[in-house]
Amino acid sequence: MKPRSATIHDVARVAGVSTASVSRVVSGDRPVQDETAARVRAAIEQLGYKANLVARSLKTRATNTIGIVAPILASDFFMLLAESMDRELTANGYSLIVCSSTESEVEEAKRLTLLSDRLVDGIVMIPTSDHCPHVGAIQARGIPVVFIDRLALDVDADAVLVDNEGGAREATEALIADGFRRIGFLGADPDVLTARERYAGYRAAMEGAGLAVEDRFTSFGKLDHIESGYRAMESMLAQPGAPEAWFIVNADNQIGATNYLMTAGRAHRGRVVFASFDEMPYSPLLQFCRYSVSQPIAEMGGLAARILLDRINRGGAGKAEIARLKTTLIRH
């Protein structure tokens, strides 16, 4: 059942050379005479030899493995990210280990140490909150970390973010240009910098147009929960004099809010308009959403992967770099 496969020794014996020569042929590092190389290759073929990557890793101290940890795997944002990272990493001989922090700082810490125990060569993470005290220990172990989508304030590391403030401002301004004077904000999660930046962009647009931000119509809640968007929309629309136009912080909250309007809140339909962060394949199909702010998710993943590989190759040197990518406003 467990066929112990051929080793480099077997190949060396069959080819009548030393293990070092076999290793050289396999890795292609150093020059080997054509004829011996041919003998080695023949032996490899004959025995069906495959290098044992675990043994190699033990020796080289590199696993060619990258870890990624995110609050939730089952989100549109994460899966597009995973896809683009997979593409970039596979092309460079790396594999991707995924972990969910299940939105818990404790679990997040566990996953990070698990990954570093596995000796991954680098880590990409979407932090659960603004504070990641445990990341320092990972970096101290010599494993580079790149943040994506969100930033931890207490850590010095590379990051790939988007211009959250600019994107939110642009979308809010579009609503204003359409004639809306009163606009609410849905999903101002105070624990996540990304949400705070989007809120700041919304405020900037409102104030720039001389419009009032009504605290009654700013809802707080969890960023990654559909349920949260549903509840927020429900309670805000229950208030007298609720606005018609809303800026929504992300796709999950938009799904929740839309869901409310399609079911229990259907009485409010017909006079509600959204602008929302995140453009997804199904975005054009949702009602109410006039504008969405599209993030270049694939670029973000590719860039994060490249930054990480770069840092790995440079041995971790160089100071942290924060990339801000532009968003695109889409009108439906």
Partner DNA sequence: CTGTTAGCGCCTTCAG
Partner DNA sequence: CTGAAGGCGCTAACAG
User: Which residues bind to DNA, rule: CB under 7 A?
Assistant: 4, 7-9, 16-21, 23-24, 26-27, 29-33, 35-37, 49-52, 55-56, 58-60
Task: Tell me how far, at minimum, the Cβ of 57 lies from DNA, in Å.
Answer: 9
Closest to 188 measured CA to CA, from 177, 180, 196: 196
Residues 6+ apart with CB under 8 A from 315: none
Spatial separation of the C-alpha atoms in residues 11 and 168, rounded to whole Å: 61
91 binds, among a second copy, DNA, none (CB under 5 to 8 A by kind): none
Contact call for residues 325 and 296 (beta carbons, < 8 A): yes
Whichever of 24 and 311 has its CB closer to DNA, that residue is 24
Q: How far is the CB of 21 from DNA (least distance, A)?
A: 4
Contact between 133 and 195 (Cβ < 8 Å): no
Of 59 and 319, which has the nearer Cβ to DNA? 59
Placement of tokens 């809640």 in the chain: 221
CA-wise closest residue to 201 among 249, 148, 245, 244: 249
Q: Which does 222 bind (CB under 5 to 8 A by kind): DNA, a second copy, none?
A: none
Q: Is the dihedral of CA 191, 114, 90, 122 positive or negative?
A: positive
Contacted entry of DNA, a second copy, none for residue 30, CB cut-off 5 to 8 Å set by kind: DNA
Q: Count the neighbouring beta carbons within 10 Å of the beta carbon of residue 98.
A: 16
For the bound state, the minimum distance from the C-beta of residue 165 to a second copy, rounded and expressed in Å, comes to 27
Rounded Cα distance, 26 and 22, in Å: 6
Nearer residue to DNA within complex by CB, 119 or 213: 119
Instruction: Report the residue number, 7 or 104, with the smaller CB distance to DNA.
Output: 7
User: Residue 21 binds which one of a second copy, DNA, none, with CB within 5 to 8 A depending on kind?
Assistant: DNA
Q: In the complex, what is the shortest distance from the CB of residue 5 to DNA, in angstroms, rounded to a whole number?
A: 7
Q: CA triplet 317, 164, 108: central angle to 5 degrees? A: 55
- Nearest distance, CB of residue 95 and DNA, angstroms: 16
Residue 230: name its binding partner from a second copy, DNA, none (Cβ under 5 to 8 Å by kind).
none
Asked if 220 and 188 count as a contact pair (C-beta separation under 8 A), the reply is yes
> Is 201 exposed, middle or buried, given 0-12, 13-18 or 19+ CB atoms closer than 10 A?
buried
Nearer to a second copy, 111 or 222 (CB): 111
Phi, psi of 111 (to 5 degrees): -65, -40
Please state the closest distance from residue 56 (CB atom) to DNA, in A.
4
Question: Which residues in this chain contact a second copy in the complex, by CB under 8 A?
Answer: 1-3, 5, 50-55, 57-58, 61, 63, 65, 72-76, 78-80, 82-83, 86-87, 90, 95-100, 111, 114-119, 140-142, 226, 255, 258-259, 262-263, 281-282, 284-287, 315-317
Specify the DSSP element, H or E, that contains 161. strand 158-162
> Which partner in DNA, a second copy, none is near 119 (CB below 5 to 8 A by kind)?
a second copy
Partner touching 146 among DNA, a second copy, none, CB below 5 to 8 Å by kind:
none
Residue 119 or 329: the one with the smaller Cβ distance to a second copy is 119
Residue 7 contact partner, candidates a second copy, DNA, none, CB within 5 to 8 A by sort of partner: DNA
Shortest Cβ distance from residue 22 to DNA (Å)?
A: 7
User: Do the beta carbons of residue 296 and residue 326 sit within 8 Å?
Assistant: yes
